[in-house]
Structure 1
Amino acid sequence: MLNVALLGAGRIGQVHAESMTATRDSRVVAVADVNREAAEALAARIGAAARSVDEIIADPAIDAVLIATSTDTHSDLITRATQAGKAVLCEKPVDLSLERALTTLAAAEATGRPVMIGFNRRFDPNFAALKAGFDQGRIGKGELLSITSFDPAPPPVEYVRVSGGLFRDMMIHDFDMACWLFGGPPARLTAHGAALVDPAIGEAGDVDTAAVTMVWGDGRIAVIKNSRRAAYGYDQRVEILGEKGLLSARNVLENTVEALTAYGAVAAKPLHFFLERYMRAYQIEWQAFLDAVTQDRPMPVTLREGVAALACAEAATRSLATGTTISLTPGMLG
């Protein structure tokens, strides 16, 4: 039984709290948040104590922490927690700065403590089945990967201003998915983007519609498409074309009823947002972290892989700004 603490009591922290309290393999003993009232409310709901980050880090009885705080705190908390001997599961991204993330990688690896980055989509049963089938050689060598990720509506502009931009905040999930499926980061990538959904997002210095082409050293290609607006719901699809065929993971729909009439076919829309679409993935993710820690297994999503996804986001940001293709150098990957 692991004693664990949750750092962050906001929306994503509350999502994680559900998964953390649903297993018998761990016990949430403490919650911390800059908003003390939020920490106290969540702690009371799950039977834990509201404590400060400093108290949690210093407590040797706490074996692991889940970091769900604002992104600009991730690097510092990963470093402090691992140096205190704790295992860490940290929400994506590692940091908004690739330079800081690389410093954190070196510091955490020096401690030897396990760190996992929370790319929950790897644990979605549909995407996991696609990955398993691909690794089993069902379609032979992958040649062309297509990832679609559309949100139903854009976030508030206030959030956009502090998010680090679409590539670091939203598409980073897809960068990780592409690297995971194709066995590592690409050699180079090219990004295109615009603010087509909300002009205020453009005024804030970000884009809400983007496409990135990634190319691996052997010529394999991935295309990622992101939009902050899809009127029909949360659109999440992955497709791999290989030498022997095609593997695809389609949307999860609100229901499986389909009406077939003389006028055509009508089916349900995709689930509306990530909380409905990926709640099961968060639960599997937490159990995978616990299994890795308690059974001394490799982390299923390493800190180094988190840095690679951030390096892709950094390269995409540079590509969009310069209108050029950006190569991913060894120095960007740690």
Structure 2
Amino acid sequence: MKKIKFAVAGLGRIGKIHLDNLLQMPHAEVVAVTDPIEASLQYARDQGVSLTVATYEELLALPEVDAVIICTPTDTHANYAELAAKAGKHIFCEKPLDLDLNRVMNVLQVVEATNVKLMLGFNRRFDQEFKKVKNVVKSGQIGEPHLVKITSRDPGAPPVSYIKQSGGLFLDMTIHDFDMARFIVEKEVEEVYAKGAVLIDDAIGKAGDIDTAIVTLTYTDGTMAVIDNSREAAYGYDQRVEVFGSKGMVQGNNNLHDTHKLHNKDGIHGALPLHFFLERYAQAYKTEIQDFVDALTSNENVPVDGEDGLQSLRIGLAAKKSLMENRPVKISEINSEVTI
């Protein structure tokens, strides 16, 4: 089977993860990388990547490149994806594609016109715990889903400098949960009602964001989901999903450092959750990029496409509008703001 030749743009934390995973896959070959930081380029050379280039445009000009992995800052994603599509390169792009709905739709039009594949990095879909929950729901073992509960709490807030350019909690953090809410029960969201507060760090509020939130989603069939978020959980990275249905319930719980339990006169004690997303979703990142490679080698649809990213962005924008206006917001209101 022919190897897919990849180029990686951006070698921060996520870029290095994708690079390392691709280098272990028999049907993938990383032929080039780009990053503005020399130490990052040297990291790639140390891993055996012989070609490092100064710019993204140079990367796309390489005729041997079949696909690009975009792990650069969020504000470059749309332009880089569009340029890759026009160059005939398949695209894996970290979420979000952009923070502007019109811009995303423009890029998706280019992708469709150029007939390349675009996959977005919603890595939680590939977590074994959450995939098991989805499979149980899909098999009908809990009957018809009525309620979805998603908990997503980080172990610590990111720097305020990051928050200022991230799009805020709903478009940076909760967007993963919005995607999970659609994925886990295969239903579309009709209405969003969000409440939020600054309870952890006043600097986050001064930057125009919140650090704690509850979001209620109503699906088109009237069933509901509740998402709770916090930028800081004292006990670690808290990632849980629950689906309650007409015949039962299924839960996906945290991955722990180990499964020991200490029972003594003071109570029952166990290990904390894995520290953060790099540890919690290490295997999910491998599965995610392997599925992208498989889609390219078999010429099949990617498991998370541009439409998935578009729907999650719509929910996120509705959540922001709901928070600002203190009312439920229909997804149709967000659709009506699109100008293309």
> Do the two structures share a fold, i.e. TM-score over 0.5?
yes
> What is the percent sequence identity of the aligned residues?
44
Equivalent residue, structure 2, for 1:19: 21
Kindly provide the amino acid, as one letter, of the partner of residue 83 in structure 1: K
Q: 2:264: which partner in 1?
A: 261
RMSD over equivalenced CA pairs, Å: 1.4
* Corresponding position: 1:53 with 2:70: no
Q: C-alpha separation between the residues in 1 aligned to 2:56 and 2:74?
A: 15
Structure 1 residue 296 corresponds to structure 2 residue 299: yes
Matched, 1:279 2:282: yes
Aligned residues: 333
2:250 equivalent among 233, 239, 247: 247
CA distance in 2, matches of 1:230, 1:80: 39
Aligned partner (choices 198, 208, 215) of residue 205 of structure 1: 208
SS of residue matched to 1:289? helix
Unaligned runs of 5+ in 1: none
Do the aligned residues in 1 keep the contact of 2:149 with 2:242 (CA within 8 Å)? yes
Q: Does 1:113 align with 2:116?
A: yes
Is this contact kept in 2: 1:88–1:116, CA < 8 A?
yes
Distance in 2 separating the partners of 1:69 and 1:255: 34
- What does residue 33 of structure 2 align with? 31
Q: Residue deviations 1:171-221, cap 9 Å, x none? A: 010000001123243001011111110000000000000111000121110
Contact 1:2 1:63 in 2 (8 A): yes
Q: Which residue does 1:139 correspond to in 2?
A: 142
Per the alignment, residue 102 of structure 1 pairs with: 105
On the 8 A contact 1:311/1:332 being kept in 2, the answer is: no
Bigger Cα displacement from structure 2, 242-251 vs 179-188 = 179-188
2:185 counterpart of 1:182: yes
After TM superposition, give the deviation of residue 93 of structure 1 in Å: 0.8
* CA gap 1:223/1:332 in 2 versus in 1, 3 angstroms: farther
Could you tell me which amino acid in structure 1 is paired with residue 258 of structure 2? N
Tell me if structure 2 keeps the 8 A contact 1:39–1:50. Answer: no
Query: What SS does structure 1 have at the residue aligned with 2:182?
Result: helix
Q: Is the 8 A contact 1:146 1:222 kept in 2?
A: yes
Q: Distance in 2 between matches of 1:38 and 1:190?
A: 44
Give distance in 1, aligned partners of 2:14 and 2:210.
23
Does the CA contact (< 8 Å) of 2:151 and 2:238 recur in 1?
A: yes
1-side partners of 2:128 and 2:27: how far apart? 21
Distance 1:169 1:328 in 2: 19
- The residue that corresponds to 2:130 in the other structure is 127
Rounded to whole Å, the distance in 1 between the matches of 2:103 and 2:46 is 35
Q: C-alpha displacement at 1:141, in angstroms?
A: 1.0
Q: Flag the 1:110–1:332 CA change in 2: closer, same or farther, 3 A.
A: farther
1:331, distance to aligned residue in structure 2 (A): 5.3
How far apart, CA to CA, are the structure 1 residues paired with 2:143 and 2:39?
50
Distance 1:28 1:113 in 2: 19
AA aligned to 2:136 is G
Q: What residue is the counterpart of 2:331 in the other structure?
A: 328
Cα deviation, residue 14, structure 1: 1.2
Partner-residue secondary structure (3-state), 1:314: helix
1:8 matched to 2:26? The reply is: no
TM-score (norm 2): 0.95
Give the residue type in structure 1 aligned to 2:12: G
Alpha-carbon distance in 2 for matches of 1:252, 1:265: 18
Structure 1 residues 24-33 or 202-211, which shifts more?
A: 24-33
Check if 1:159 corresponds to 2:197.
no
Corresponding letter in the other structure for 1:308: Q
1:177 and 1:153 map into 2 onto residues whose CA distance is: 22
Tell me by how many angstroms 1:36 deviates: 4.1
Gaps of 5+ in 2: none
Work out the CA distance in 2 between the residues paired with 1:94 and 1:151. 22
Q: CA deviation at 1:325?
A: 1.1
Contact 2:134/2:185 (<8 A) preserved: no
Q: Distance in 2 between matches of 1:227 and 1:133?
A: 28
Segments of 4+ moved more than 4 angstroms: 330-334
CA contact (8 A) 2:142 2:247 kept: yes
Amino acid in the other structure paired with 2:117: P
Of 75, 79, 86, 2:78 maps to 75
Instruction: For residue 187 of structure 1, give the secondary structure of its aligned residue in structure 2.
Output: strand
